[in-house]
Amino acid sequence: MTPEQSTWFAETFDALVSNVGLALLGKEHTVRLALTAMVAEGHLLLEDAPGTGKTSLAKALAATVQGSHHRIQFTPDLLPSDVTGVTIYDQSTHRFEFHPGPIFASVVLADEINRASPKTQAALLEVMEEGQITVDGVTHPVGRPFMVIATQNPIEQAGTYRLPEAQLDRFLIKTSLGYPDRASTIEILAGAKDRTTNLAPRITTQAVGTLADLAQTVHIDEVVLDYVARLTEATRDDSQTAIGASVRGGLALVRTAKVWAAAAGREYVIPDDVKDLAQPVLAHRLLLDSEAEFAGVTAVEILGRILETTAPPAVRVG
């Protein structure tokens, strides 16, 4: 990435954040994380109470990049074919035709994903990892960009299925929106309408692909890679974790750090990029041991301690 390209990247990224921010007031940091996940070609998990703007975020992202948007309400009776699509025999042509499901969109909102059965949840594994769906032995790509924004309600857990670790590991970032501050709430109440309705696109879906390709060219020094490796190893060695971050978690941290650096107008990653993203990228990948969980310890607290005790590189990079 050249300095000119990094400047264009940062200006474009800021314009996207501002545009989505017109629909989601007072949530700039969360919007930046969501766009980071999109440009890094990953997926976002939101754990939030109802009515905090999760649907608005998905619609605003799709509108901003001139993409399509589908919402899937996950329920216990939802079937895998209700998500992926189904092959139906057409009597007029005497051929089987594939009818795509709602997963074929630029931004897919998987609402309350933990209410669906594990079988239906598993239907997302292939498309989230490989960007394609296989039905009756035929592969169907979903296109680019493709992003799943899944939601979980942290309060009402009756009738839900806990996401397995393999599924959690597919989400690049986990975060929450939370409620807006009072000033933003007043502004929302004054409008009392869907702010995503008239949101104008700022770039095309093809330009999102250009951003993604550029982000991969951001330089990351070996000492920063060593820092990422030490952080992930520390999560596995911690006495309060049963399972720490895998190599996939380390790769996710590198991918997002490159986007974060480019969004700041840099052609290289610095340790602060890694520190900024460690919690939203790694926390949901940790499985705590039973004693720590019983004591009320959280993965965020463990990561905070690891970041304090794991020294970042002392040398200047870039």
Map out the domains of the chain as residue ranges: 1-80+106-217, 218-317
In sequence order, which residues have a C-beta less than 8 Å from that of residue 15 and are 6 or more positions away? 202, 203
Name the CATH superfamily for 218-317: Magnesium chelatase subunit I, C-Terminal domain (1.10.8.80)
Which alpha helices (DSSP H) does the chain contain, by range? 3-21, 28-39, 54-64, 80-84, 118-122, 125-130, 165-168, 182-191, 205-215, 222-237, 247-263, 271-282, 290-294, 299-309
Query: pLDDT value at position 56?
Result: 86
Cis before 118 (ω within 30): no
The two tokens of residue 317 are 């990079």
The SS3 call for residue 159 is: coil
Confidence (pLDDT) at 193: 65
Q: Token pair 């770039």 is at which residue?
A: 203
Q: What is the pLDDT of residue 38?
A: 95
Q: At what angle do helices 222-237 and 271-282 cross, to 10 degrees?
A: 30
| Residue pointed to by tokens 């296989």 | 134
CATH fold match for the domains 1-80+106-217 and 218-317: no
pTM of this structure: 0.89
Cα distances (angstroms) measured from residue 145 to each of 104, 165, 205, 288, 299: 11, 25, 6, 34, 30
Report the candidate in 193, 171, 190, 194 with the shortest Cα–Cα distance to residue 182: 190
The answer to whether residues 283 and 300 touch, using CB atoms and an 8 Å cutoff, is: yes
Facing residues of 138 across strands?
Answer: 135
- What are the pLDDT tens digits along the chain (318 aa)? 788 899 999 999 999 999 998 888 888 999 999 999 999 999 999 987 777 778 888 889 999 998 899 999 998 899 999 999 988 888 888 888 889 999 999 999 998 888 888 888 888 888 898 889 988 888 999 888 899 999 887 766 655 677 777 778 889 999 988 788 888 888 777 876 666 777 888 999 999 999 999 999 999 999 999 999 999 999 999 888 888 888 999 999 999 999 999 999 999 999 999 999 999 999 999 988 888 888 888 899 999 999 999 999 875 655
pLDDT tens track for 208-244: 999 999 999 999 999 999 999 999 999 999 888 888 8
Q: Which residue, among 212, 49, 59, has the nearest Cα to 149 in the 3D structure?
A: 59
Q: Is 96 exposed, middle or buried (0-12, 13-18, 19+ CB in 10 A)?
A: exposed
Distance of alpha carbon 15 from alpha carbon 1, whole angstroms = 20
CA distance 280 to 264: 18
CB contact set of 56 (below 8 Å; sequence gap of 6+): 23, 24, 194, 195, 196
**In sequence order, which ranges of 78-221 are alpha helices (DSSP H)?**
80-84, 118-122, 125-130, 165-168, 182-191, 205-215
Residue with the two structure tokens 């300095």: 3
Nearest Cα to Cα of residue 241 among 292, 202, 277, 198: 292
Taking the C-alpha atoms of residue 177 and residue 71, their distance in angstroms, rounded to an integer, is 18
**Rounded CA separation 59/68 (Å):** 9
**Residue 198: which of 53, 4, 51, 64 has the closest Cα?**
64
Measure the CA–CA gap between 221 and 250, rounded to whole angstroms: 15
Question: 205, 315, 217, 303: which is closest to 3 by C-alpha?
Answer: 217
CATH superfamily of 1-80+106-217: P-loop containing nucleotide triphosphate hydrolases (3.40.50.300)
